[in-house]
Amino acid sequence: MSLIVQKFGGTSVGSIERIENVARKVISTKAQGNDVIVVVSAMAGETDRLKALADEVGADSSSDHQREIDVLLSTGEQVSIALLSMMLKKLGCRARSYTGGQIRILTDDAHTKARIQEIDTEKIGSDLAADKVVVVAGFQGVDSSGNITTFGRGASDLTAVAIAGVMAAAECRIYTDVDGVYTTDPNVVEGARCLESLTFEEMLELASLGSKVLHTRAVELASKYKLPIRVLSSFNESPGTLITSEEELDMERPMISGIAMTRDEAKLTVLGVDDVPGIAHKILGPISAANIEVDMIVQNVAADNSTDFTFTVARADYEKSMDILKKVAKDIEAREFTGDNKIAKLSLVGVGMRSHAGVASKMFETLADESINIQMISTSEIKISVVIAEKYLELAARALHSKFDLSAIADSEQE
């Protein structure tokens, strides 16, 4: 008998009819001889409704208000666990609901962005032993003083993976409204294909780059536990995408798994500054002090011993960053500074890159063939990212998807 954790998001529990659909999936998993723990989010729209109430009150970001935001938002998942448990019982399946606090998902006291420290396995274990399905509210826990905490938006994934981890589950299944993880955005590239499998590292690169299928912290945690995650649809029977350790995927991996796109960035460049130690800190220090997060950073040394320095920030921070840079450029006597918020980032991701040479040059060649100018390049072990003009993003994605043959099922995935 295996233990399976199943997590259903807000869309999957968005109505009583859909909750019945969820209950049937749970019962079917149980009927296959598994123990089942279910983690659910708030019904679609509920968290927004509650946030709107808090906004109407005029809640601010003080810690006192954040404590009450958690008391408020955590009710959304509590409604879902009660309804799903009732539905399971009505369909003849023994079940029992738990809030984060009841099962004692112990967290730190950082309200609205708490981190899990410990999970009490006693109640879960004894309910499973009594042949009950355990239904747990996602997204929430309690601190050591018994205050309700939440983990931030979309973090029910994290609850599911954490519980699956401590209970040593065989698999954690994350049900969504898509069929799984795609090679790239199907809205942009017609031939985009649902992947059969991915490594944790690939998923992390794809998630952080805008494929919002899985919560990043959940993937990190699964990777730590070496816990296989399966992303699949609530609304059909397709097998979805398995995300696991590279060693579990013992077939040869395809060179490239997917193409990620990000549109919400902006680029800032300081031209002609002295190439001396400390210059990067002088430029980025004030940006960081303003709580602006920097993504890509590129610096090139020119022949005249001066340097050009470019970095990207979230597009929402563009104006603020330009204001800061204006002062900084003057202080460090830069020749000039420029900015561009009409850029986009495109990344190729794949663990196969490690053993395949020539991925980068093939990428650059493809873009050149389409006359797309590359403005910045950044690479990691399993990823190559380029910044290009936003208007070319879709063209680039289609060309690369085709060139790297991502629409075809790879040999390794046919087995």
The residue among 83 and 367 lying less far from a second copy, judged by its C-beta, is 83
**With CB under 8 A, what is the number of residues at the site for a second copy?**
39
CB of residue 91 vs a second copy: minimum separation in angstroms?
A: 10
The residue among 103 and 313 lying less far from a second copy, judged by its C-beta, is 103
**299 binds a second copy per the rule CB under 8 A:** no
Q: For residues 191 and 329, is the Cβ–Cβ distance under 8 A?
A: no
The residue among 54 and 389 lying less far from a second copy, judged by its C-beta, is 54
The residue among 70 and 265 lying less far from a second copy, judged by its C-beta, is 70
From CA 8, how far away is CA 301, in angstroms rounded? 51
CB of residue 53 vs a second copy: minimum separation in angstroms?
A: 6
**99 binds a second copy per the rule CB under 8 A:** yes
The residue among 49 and 226 lying less far from a second copy, judged by its C-beta, is 49
CB of residue 207 vs a second copy: minimum separation in angstroms?
A: 31
Binding residues for a second copy restricted to 47-86, rule: CB under 8 A: 50, 53-54, 56-60, 62, 64-65, 67-69, 71-72, 74-75, 78-79, 81-83, 85-86
The residue among 44 and 59 lying less far from a second copy, judged by its C-beta, is 59
The residue among 67 and 356 lying less far from a second copy, judged by its C-beta, is 67
CB of residue 51 vs a second copy: minimum separation in angstroms?
A: 12
CB of residue 78 vs a second copy: minimum separation in angstroms?
A: 5
CB of residue 383 vs a second copy: minimum separation in angstroms?
A: 42
Q: Rg (Cα) of the chain, in Å, rounded?
A: 24
Q: CA triplet 351, 355, 361: central angle to 5 degrees?
A: 90
Sign of the Cα torsion 26, 29, 35, 38 reads negative
Binding residues for a second copy restricted to 139-168, rule: CB under 8 A: 146-148
The residue among 59 and 395 lying less far from a second copy, judged by its C-beta, is 59
Among 6, 12, 47, 97, binds a second copy (CB under 8 A): 97
The residue among 3 and 72 lying less far from a second copy, judged by its C-beta, is 72
From CA 175, how far away is CA 24, in angstroms rounded? 13
Binding residues for a second copy restricted to 1-30, rule: CB under 8 A: 16, 19
User: HEC states along the chain?
Assistant: CCEEEEEECCCCCCCHHHHHHHHHHHHHHHHCCCEEEEEECCCCCHHHHHHHHHHHHCCCCCHHHHHHHHHHHHHHHHHHHHHHHHHHHHCCCCEEEECCCCCCEEECCCCCCCCEEEECCHHHHHHHHCCCEEEEECCEEECCCCCEEECCCCCHHHHHHHHHHHCCCCEEEEEECCCCCECCCCCCCCCCCECCEEEHHHHHHHHHCCCCCCCHHHHHHHHHHCCCEEEEECCCCCCCEEEECCCCCCCCCCCCCEEEEECCEEEEEEEEEECCCCHHHHHHHHHHHCCCCEEEEEEEECCCCEEEEEEEEEHHHHHHHHHHHHHHHHHCCCCEEEEECCEEEEEEECHHHHCCCCHHHHHHHHHHHCCCCCCEEEEECCEEEEEEEHHHHHHHHHHHHHHCCCCCCCHHHHC
**328 binds a second copy per the rule CB under 8 A:** no
From CA 280, how far away is CA 299, in angstroms rounded? 9
Among 14, 100, 101, 228, binds a second copy (CB under 8 A): 101
Within its chain, how far is the Cα of 322 from the centroid? 28
CB of residue 90 vs a second copy: minimum separation in angstroms?
A: 5
**90 binds a second copy per the rule CB under 8 A:** yes
From CA 105, how far away is CA 103, in angstroms rounded? 6
CB of residue 39 vs a second copy: minimum separation in angstroms?
A: 15
The residue among 71 and 251 lying less far from a second copy, judged by its C-beta, is 71
The residue among 146 and 277 lying less far from a second copy, judged by its C-beta, is 146
CB of residue 283 vs a second copy: minimum separation in angstroms?
A: 39
CB of residue 69 vs a second copy: minimum separation in angstroms?
A: 7
**89 binds a second copy per the rule CB under 8 A:** yes
**39 binds a second copy per the rule CB under 8 A:** no
Positions that interact with a second copy (CB under 8 A) = 16, 19, 50, 53-54, 56-60, 62, 64-65, 67-69, 71-72, 74-75, 78-79, 81-83, 85-87, 89-90, 94, 96-97, 99, 101-102, 146-148
